[in-house]
Amino acid sequence: MNVLQRLGRPAMSGPHPVRKILTVVLVFNVALGMAFSVIGLRRQAGDRAKVQNQLIEQMSAVNAVRAEMWKSIDQGSVTPNLAGLDLNNFGRDGLGQPVDTGRLAQQLGSFTAIVTSVRSRLDAGQVAVARAEGAGLAPNATALLGTLQALSDEHQRQSDRANTTADVETVVLMLFAAAMGLVLFRRVMITRINSDVRAAQAKARAEATFGSLVRHSSDLISIVDVEFELRYLTPSVQSILGYPPGELVGRSLLDIVHPDDRLRLLAAHDALLDGADLVPTTVRMQSAEGTWRYMESLHNDLRQNADVNGVAITSRDVTERIALEEQLRHSAFHDDLTGLANRALFSDRVEHALSRRYDVRTPPAVVFFDLDDFKAVNDSLGHHIGDQLLQVIAQRLEYGVRPSDTAARLGGDEFAVLIEDLHPDDCLSLLHRLQQDLRQPVLLAGRELSMRASIGVAYAGAGDASTLLANADLAMYAVKAGGKDAVMQFTPTMAEHAVRRLQLKTELHAAIEHGQIVAFFQPTVDLATGRMSGFEALARWLHPSRGLIPPLEFIPIAEQTGQIVEIGRQVLRQACRALAGWHQRHPDYGDLTVAVNLSARELDEPDLLKIVADALRESGLAADRLTLEVTESLLVRDPELAVRQLTAVRKLGVQVAIDDFGTGYSSLNYLEQLPVDIVKIDKTFIDRLTGGDRNVMVETITQLGTALGLRTVAEGIENDLQAGLLRDMGCDVGQGFLFYRPVPGSEIDALFQPSDVSHVA
């Protein structure tokens, strides 16, 4: 049974307060009245007793006078004394109330009259007369004494009555006082009990909350004394730190705290002793298994609390959160994939390097690396392999530079290195060595991949960090535009080129609208006969003020913006129309074909088939006279789509060529599965055909192509030696400056001769 039930909730019941006060006032008035009455009664009883005494004194006086009188009468000489018979007091009683004095006065009057008469008789010597008169004295005195006795008795009774009443009232008053005392005591007790109850309730509530917290929360609550001795731990210590409950009790908390964090704990308790309310800490605690867990705690000084009498530490395991935070902090400045510094950290380092005093002979150098054709790896082998390759590259960069240098991944296949305190000459040799490192083949997914990089470097000069970064980027871009796989140092003309690129970008739209993009044609020759066999259509921008702009300057821009689709359509229409015209004008050359390049964006174009079909219909060109060139990487990027699109155009009769073969990543065996008719061996392989050295790669491609029933075309033939070697290898078609350069369509007519059997130098 709880305290409240026992008390019947006294605090909440009982009369209305005003009624209660009135009752108390009334009861006090009655008690006061009683008290006065008791005083009155007591005085009345006292007065009656006094009167009674007087009456008794008067009775004895009457007896004395009578006896005196008798003695005087007997001796005839004595004068009786009547002083004791004072009647004044008989008029009123002790309470000021009149008493029955009529009879008494009359009896006293006759008694004194007889006494006076007898005295005067004796004084006169008339003893006998005195004796005779004195005989009347006895009944008179008896009557007087009777009256006095009756009065005395009456006073006695009245005094007794008053005393009894007073006694009763006194008892009542005492009872009242006792009752009041009781009420007062009860009131005090109730108040005390109420506050105890409230405190108990609050405590119960707190205990309930505390209890449920302790039981249900995953937090660890431990209580330590000022010496850090563990006095209590919640059972959650088992699930959090792996200790059986009770095992740590009696040990020092410091025992399981990481040595480096102990000071922090001591400081927290110092702060508590200095009067701080709650002190938070995060320290590592050792689990039973020996691992360190980050525990976030709140220290609460409860030494004054009798139930706790110590410092309560509420702790929570935040290891995962801290690990995540650390990871976030790290990834804010590092590249997740490679662990290298990211762009933010790199820029910061560059800024720092520039703000430092450095020797002008060894200025900080920023190097940008852009992997050549990395997109093709990603596209052909998948992102997973691409990522692995990036990790290898990152490792090689990191090991290739000195520890004091900063290697970073800026995004995608773009890396950067900050090199400090190195002479530009040494820097260049370092970069060439890095270039060689990067080229070392990597074995991934059963393939040997060799990566090349376009490397641009810029040295700190007048500009700020962002200028330095931009310059390195421009140098890198210049390498890319100039054929990739090289190291270039920033020069101011590169900035001019960048400006030019931006201008071209803004002008390209109008150029396409106004027909400034025109197809040039580079004839190809049959290597066995030397006869012209066809053309490759190559786009040119005929800029009204800048003159002829090569495709490498604007095709990448157009690919970015998507304008390549429209350019491609225009080149295709021009090519089809031109060839149809030549066929018409030179019937001997009816077997000549034209090849048109397709970009990735164009291969993605859902309308591709329609665009091709429209161009053929408009021009009237036979479909089998048109070849579409796609690069190898483009084919394997999204093989399904590529195969679908190319299969569709092939159904029209159009031929498909793989361009730049050998630079991509598809295997030779893969060729068989692709919907292609022609393989174009990349110029880089042809370039290596020198001094009679038979190039195995070119020969293999040629042989395989022939075996698969594909025509082989060699690109970029610049000398007779190459042409001869290729012819000997069995390569079908040649294309290169040795035979023809790309020229406007209008110049092609002049090339046709009735019997063209030898090449034009």
CA–CA separation, 114 and 82 (whole Å):
12
Instruction: Kindly report the three-state secondary structure assignment for every residue of 347-375.
Output: HHHHHHHHHCCCCCCCCCEEEEEEECCHH
Least Å distance between CB 695 and Ca ion? 17
Among 101-109, 182-190, 473-481, 714-722, the segment contacting Ca ion (CB under 5 A): 714-722
β-bridge pairing 447-449 and 442-444: antiparallel
DSSP 450-465: ---EEEEEEE--SS-H
When the beta carbons of 222 and 633 are compared against Ca ion, the nearer one is 633
602 binds Ca ion (CB under 5 A): no
Q: What's the min distance (Å) between Cβ of 481 and ligand C2E?
A: 11
DSSP collapsed to 3 states, 113-127? HHHHHHHHHHHCCCH
Please give the residue ranges that form the binding site for ligand C2E (CB under 6 A). Answer: 522, 538-539, 550-552, 555, 564, 568, 571, 597-599, 659-660, 716-718, 735-737, 742
For 318, 552, 574, 598, the CA distances from 537, given in Å and listed in that order, are: 66, 14, 9, 11
User: What letter does residue 81 receive in the DSSP assignment?
Assistant: -
Region of residue 8 (phi > 0: left; psi between -120 and 50: alpha; otherwise: beta)? left
User: What does the per-residue mask of binding to Ca ion show for 715-734, with x meaning CB under 5 A?
Assistant: x-------------------
Distances (CA, A) of 320 to 282, 323, 518: 13, 5, 62
- Two structure tokens written together for 276: 């701080």
Q: How far is the CB of 564 from ligand C2E (least distance, A)?
A: 6
Rounded Cα–Cα distance for residues 282 and 606 (Å): 60
Please give the structure tokens belonging to residue 395.
């490792």
How many C-beta atoms lie closer than 10 Å to residue 449's C-beta? 17
Q: Which of 373, 376, 414 is nearest to 397 (CA)?
A: 414
Determine how many CB atoms are found less than 10 A away from the CB of residue 438.
Answer: 23
> Nearer to ligand C2E by C-beta: 353 or 596?
596
Q: CB of residue 550 vs ligand C2E: minimum separation in angstroms?
A: 5
Q: Is the dihedral of CA 62, 67, 68, 70 positive or negative?
A: positive
Cβ proximity to ligand C2E, 24 vs 552, nearer residue: 552
The C-alpha atoms of residue 122 and residue 112 are separated, in whole angstroms, by 15
Least distance from ligand C2E to the Cβ atom of residue 606, Å: 18
Residue 499 CA to residue 31 CA, distance in Å, equals 114
Token pair listed for 569: 């359509």
The β-bridge partners of 713 are: 680, 733
CB of 711: closest distance to Ca ion in angstroms? Answer: 14
Closer residue to ligand C2E (CB): 50 or 727: 727
Residues pairing with 524 in the sheet: 534
Query: From the list ligand C2E, Ca ion, none, which binds 335 (C-beta under 5 to 8 Å, kind-based)?
Result: none
Q: Identify which of residues 406 and 524 has a Cβ nearer to ligand C2E in the complex.
A: 524
Nearest to 474 by CA among 353, 554, 398, 366: 366
Indicate the residue among 392 and 592 with the shorter CB distance to Ca ion.
592
Q: Rounded to the nearest whole angstrom, what is the least distance from the CB of residue 695 to ligand C2E in the complex? A: 16
Start-to-end CA span in the chain (Å) = 119
Between residues 522 and 655, which has the closer beta carbon with respect to ligand C2E?
522
| Residue 571, binding choice from ligand C2E, Ca ion, none, Cβ under 5 to 8 Å by partner class | ligand C2E
Determine which helix (DSSP H) or strand (DSSP E) holds 626, and give its type and residue range. strand 626-631
* In the complex, minimum distance from the CB of residue 727 to ligand C2E, in angstroms, rounded to a whole number: 16
Name the β-bridge partners of 714. Answer: 681, 734
Task: Annotate each residue in 659-698 with x if it binds Ca ion (CB under 5 A) or - if it does not, as one string.
Answer: xx--------------------------------------
- The yes or no reply on residue 597 touching Ca ion (CB under 5 A) is yes
Cα 531–Cα 534–Cα 538 angle in degrees, nearest 5 = 135
For residues 245 and 352, what is the distance between their CA atoms, to the nearest angstrom? Answer: 53
- By beta-carbon proximity to ligand C2E, the closer residue of 367 and 714 is 714
Which residue's CB is nearer to Ca ion, number 346 or number 739?
Answer: 739
CB of 756 to ligand C2E, least distance (A): 19
Q: Does 507 bind Ca ion (CB under 5 A)?
A: no
Q: Which is nearer to Ca ion, 68 or 632 (CB)?
A: 632
At its nearest, how many Å lie between ligand C2E and the CB of residue 433? Answer: 29
Q: Which is nearer to Ca ion, 221 or 595 (CB)?
A: 595
The residue among 312 and 598 lying less far from ligand C2E, judged by its C-beta, is 598
For Ca ion, give the closer residue by CB, 456 or 745: 745
Closest CA to 369 of 230, 519, 492, 479: 479
Interaction residues for Ca ion, span 641-660 (CB under 5 A): 659-660
Residues 121-128: contacts with CB within 8 Å, 24+ apart?
122/72, 122/73, 122/76, 122/77, 122/78, 122/79, 123/79, 125/76, 127/73, 127/76
Residue 715 C-beta: closest distance to Ca ion, Å: 5
Tell me how far, at minimum, the Cβ of 536 lies from Ca ion, in Å: 6
Q: Which of Ca ion, ligand C2E, none interacts with 135 (beta carbon under 5 to 8 A by kind)?
A: none
Q: Structure tokens of 592?
A: 């000549």
The token duo for 702 is: 């040629």
| Contact of residue 399 among Ca ion, ligand C2E, none (CB under 5-8 Å per partner type) | none
Cα separation, 445 vs 395, whole angstroms: 18
Closest-CA residue to 495 (of 542, 533, 528, 461) = 461
Q: Is 336 exposed, middle or buried (0-12, 13-18, 19+ CB in 10 A)?
A: exposed
Instruction: Name the minimum Å distance from CB 431 to Ca ion.
Output: 29
Minimum CB separation from ligand C2E for residue 454, in Å?
A: 17
C-beta of 47 vs 682, nearer to Ca ion? 682
Smallest gap from residue 678 Cβ to Ca ion (A): 11
CA dihedral 80, 81, 85, 86 (to 10 degrees): 150
Q: Output the smallest distance, CB 532 to ligand C2E, in A.
A: 15
Burial of residue 362 (CB within 10 Å: 0-12, 13-18, 19+) is middle
What are the C-alpha distances in Å from 48 to residues 60, 423, 748?
18, 138, 167
243 or 520: whose CB is closer to ligand C2E? 520
99 binds, among Ca ion, ligand C2E, none (CB under 5 to 8 A by kind): none
Q: What does 551 bind: Ca ion, ligand C2E, none (CB cut-off 5 to 8 Å by kind)?
A: ligand C2E
Mind spelling out the 3-state secondary structure of 383-412?
A: HHHHHHHHHHHHHHHHHHCCCCCEEEEEEC
Contact status: 629 vs Ca ion (CB under 5 A): yes
Minimum CB separation from ligand C2E for residue 380, in Å? Answer: 18
- Residues near Ca ion (CB under 5 A) are 597, 629, 659-660, 715
